Structure 1
Amino acid sequence: MIRNIIFCFFLIYAEFCFADSIPNIQVENFSFYVDSGNLKLNGILCIPSSSQISEKKVVIMQTPPYPSDANYHGMYSELAEVFAHSGIASLRFENRAKNLNISGEEVTMYNQADDLHDAFLSLKRDRRFATYKIGLLGHSEGGSAVAIESSKNNDIAFAIILSSCGIKGTDFIYYQSTLRIDYLKLHSIQDKWIRKEIWDKIRIIERYDSPTIIQSKLKEHDAMLYNDSVFRIKAYGNMTLHQVYKQTLDKWANPHFIAVTKYDPKVYYSKISCPIILLYGKMDEWMDWKDNADGIEKIFIDIKKRNYEILRLDSINHSYCKCDVYTPFFTSISHMKSKNIEYSTSIWRKIINWIATLQ
């Protein structure tokens, strides 16, 4: 009996002592229109209590183009909570691929940047945020969308980019397309053929602007290879030429793939005037973290940009989970679909600390 009384007293005391340390977070639905008013995206606004707000800042978060709800596998919902506990408001929203129930291949980083812009305008029209500094955050290809919007919109107060492309799209696509070959350490004539074929297709996309011409040139390239009986047997097996065409066009000629291949980060990062922080995990299984981080840094050095920071993080993978052993992307591709992802919250603290330094 006495033990129960003591326990109840402790609970009351703990609630009294720690209530003020837990901010009163207001969570509400926030929808806005994109694509010239033809599509409504549904988002979640997370606002800390007024007593927790030291400086008025709000972060808009963007996902990569592939279908995702506002929580983005729990990464953005967790970030929103961390932000709110630090006095920072946030807006996260479903992407258009999720809303339209289409594949990510039909959506580009430029569509994503347009959606960010519309989200920004919607927040500015909300009187509660009229005097707020609005920043952007994007992960992976969502980071490219942030770079594009930040390069065009001087009203963006700051940008946070997580593991995004920092090299030319042609090199980025070649790296990802040859990861399996590099990991398996194949050294054969077939390996060389495959690498050459990949480069040839990348060059076609790089050379032509019209999607119709790109498709036509890719088909010409496939027909030439298919007519080589030795290569056909090794590369295509029993596939018909029509099946080869379809396989190539599905992968290489969709709007998303073309946009990534043609992407040049220098075009956008060289025009970003706001403070920016970029983070790269050294266990990234999707991209060469060093080449991409160094690529962005070179752009900033060339233009003498001062208000930036690049963090290279030990034991962190592309999903921002703790990872002590490198795992190739094609063996970890289902990781983001897991319901038990544990993000490295210490990384979120680094972002919070950086935001706190901004004037």
Structure 2
Amino acid sequence: MRMRLQLHVSHDYRKQLVAALDSPDMGVSGLPAVKVSQNDASFHFEIPVVRGVYDGTLNTAKTAINGSWTQNGGEQKLNFQRSDKLLELIRPQNPLKPYPYKEEEITFANATAKISLAGTLTLPPGQGPFPAAILLAGSGPNDRDESLAGHRPFLVLADHLTRKGIAVLRFDKRGIGKSTGDYANATMEDFAADAEAALAYLKTRKELDAKKIGLIGHSEGGMIAPLIAAHSGDVAWIVLLAGPGLTGEETLLLQSELILKAADVNDGQIAVAREFNKQAYALVRQEKDSAALQVKLNDLVHSSAMSASLPPEALESQVHLMATPWFRFFLDYDPRPALQKTMCPVLALNGEKDLQVSPKENLAKIQKALQDGGNKDFQTVELPGLNHLLQHAPAGLPNEYGEILETMAPDALNAISDWVLRHTTA
């Protein structure tokens, strides 16, 4: 597969060469380079995070560098041409303005947390009152579009739904984008409280039908939606997109195993990773002090085979994540009790090739929980060929997300809007 790369080269305040690499088609930008050097016409840099090394030759006009890229033992030609124009991502589904509907920048308050959440409300043409959806993003510091790997899934989903006559609110997580608050110390319960504040805000809008407001949650958002619906009579319906039905720990262990298998990692290494994760999770439960936990997790990394199998930056990031309040809460969270108490209509969609939230195990748990609770109106659907982002995918691996031009499969978009319209039109 041909992939576009963009190299930024400049001098820092010490007049030393600095560089960074973008991969627009992977949705990756600003990969920092080290050991950047130019010796006459020879040019060299390294990207530690991907274990890549580049050696090239600068032409006499200084308009091109021709050379080779070495990564994971393989070498291939890689040439750069000087340009003052930045490369753009190819994302065919991103809607272009002007939109055939109204778009508002709005803010609403979570008064209890004393924060302001910022988002975008899209309203279909006409007087209404319209049914409405609140989009709840997956884990991580997501903005209102759930921007990931160069894609903006919630922008595409909101556009699709609004064109179908459904108003949509999507918002930046607390502490992200234009929203205030502390993201670093927030847990899933905090994000649920923010979503309830969004629900309260939509109930004040006269263009909307307050009895037809629902939640659409992706991944972790698919855990948050039933957490709210279980106790709030204001939620008319929920849609779970790749939402887990397993506990946090079960989800993480299965996710790791499936991704490693799909990446052709041998069984021995998979077993090592599983044992490391289980020991790490035990430490998370035992050690309540975050600083001490990070020390113990780092000791575990260096005493295990994991230190040789992953780049230091990846391990450091994983250790930091495990010490956060969010991870502590997520690890032991079981979505099934909330699902058992959810009585509103439920649609649960998963992609067949989802390696992060496997459809087989998770849809079965969701279905059983809803049945056990007595929910009379629910549907679980496994969509063929789709990954965790509901894209048509080769294998479902996360590193494919940015390479795929499709942001969200039309099959998924239509399944969502058709179901919502069936449940919101009189």
- TM-score (norm: length of structure 1): 0.76
Q: Tell whether the 8 Å contact from 2:120 to 2:171 is kept in structure 1 after alignment.
A: yes
- Report whether the alignment pairs 1:41 with 2:114: no
Higher alpha-carbon deviation: 217-226 or 61-70: 217-226
CA distance, structure 1, for counterparts of residue 388 and residue 195 of structure 2: 22
Q: Tell whether the 8 Å contact from 1:159 to 1:277 is kept in structure 2 after alignment.
A: yes
What is the letter of the counterpart of residue 93 of structure 1? F
- Report whether the alignment pairs 1:346 with 2:346: no
Flag the 1:87–1:201 CA change in 2: closer, same or farther, 3 A. same
CA distance, structure 2, for counterparts of residue 246 and residue 185 of structure 1: 21
CA distance, structure 1, for counterparts of residue 256 and residue 386 of structure 2: 22
Structure 1 residue 77: deviation in Å? 2.1
- Report whether the alignment pairs 1:265 with 2:335: yes
What is the letter of the counterpart of residue 122 of structure 2? C
- Report whether the alignment pairs 1:196 with 2:264: no
Flag the 1:162–1:104 CA change in 2: closer, same or farther, 3 A. farther
Flag the 1:347–1:236 CA change in 2: closer, same or farther, 3 A. closer
CA distance, structure 2, for counterparts of residue 74 and residue 223 of structure 1: 38
Q: Tell whether the 8 Å contact from 2:211 to 2:234 is kept in structure 1 after alignment.
A: no
What is the letter of the counterpart of residue 66 of structure 1? G
Superposed counterparts of 1:229-248, under 5 Å: 231=303, 234-236=305-307
- Report whether the alignment pairs 1:62 with 2:136: yes
Flag the 1:199–1:307 CA change in 2: closer, same or farther, 3 A. same
Structure 1 residue 93: deviation in Å? 1.2
- Report whether the alignment pairs 1:278 with 2:343: no
Superposed counterparts of 1:173-322, under 5 Å: 173-183=252-262, 184-188=264-268, 192-205=271-284, 207=285, 211-212=288-289, 216=292, 231=303, 234-236=305-307, 249-322=319-392
What is the letter of the counterpart of residue 310 of structure 1? T
Please give the per-residue CA displacement for 1:306-340, whole angstroms capped at 9, x wherever unaligned: 211111100111112122x21422x33645xx8x5
CA distance, structure 1, for counterparts of residue 368 and residue 198 of structure 2: 30
* Structure 2 SS opposite 1:152: coil
CA distance, structure 2, for counterparts of residue 187 and residue 88 of structure 1: 47
Higher relative contact order (CA 8 A, sep 6+): 1
Superposed counterparts of 1:106-185, under 5 Å: 106-129=185-208, 131-183=210-262, 184-185=264-265
What is the letter of the counterpart of residue 413 of structure 2? W
* Structure 1 SS opposite 2:216: strand
Higher alpha-carbon deviation: 56-65 or 111-120: 56-65
* Unpaired runs of at least 5, structure 2: 1-98
CA distance, structure 2, for counterparts of residue 342 and residue 172 of structure 1: 24
Q: Tell whether the 8 Å contact from 1:138 to 1:144 is kept in structure 2 after alignment.
A: yes
What is the letter of the counterpart of residue 288 of structure 2? P
Flag the 1:113–1:82 CA change in 2: closer, same or farther, 3 A. same
Flag the 1:276–1:154 CA change in 2: closer, same or farther, 3 A. same
Flag the 1:153–1:108 CA change in 2: closer, same or farther, 3 A. same
Structure 1 residue 202: deviation in Å? 2.2
Structure 1 residue 105: deviation in Å? 5.8
- TM-score (norm: length of structure 2): 0.65
Q: Tell whether the 8 Å contact from 1:43 to 1:93 is kept in structure 2 after alignment.
A: yes
Q: Which is richer in helix?
A: 1
Structure 1 residue 182: deviation in Å? 3.1
* Unpaired runs of at least 5, structure 1: 1-22, 238-242
Flag the 1:247–1:286 CA change in 2: closer, same or farther, 3 A. closer
Q: Tell whether the 8 Å contact from 1:70 to 1:92 is kept in structure 2 after alignment.
A: yes
CA-based RMSD of the aligned residues comes to 3.3
Structure 1 residue 223: deviation in Å? 5.1
What is the letter of the counterpart of residue 351 of structure 1? I
Q: Tell whether the 8 Å contact from 1:173 to 1:260 is kept in structure 2 after alignment.
A: no
Structure 1 residue 270: deviation in Å? 0.9
* Structure 1 SS opposite 2:145: coil
Which residue matches 1:18? Answer: none
Q: Which is richer in strand?
A: 2
Flag the 1:284–1:121 CA change in 2: closer, same or farther, 3 A. same
What is the letter of the counterpart of residue 276 of structure 1? V
- Of 151, 155, 173, the residue aligned with 1:95 is 173
The total of aligned residue pairs comes to 317
Q: Tell whether the 8 Å contact from 1:66 to 1:103 is kept in structure 2 after alignment.
A: no
CA distance, structure 2, for counterparts of residue 141 and residue 256 of structure 1: 11
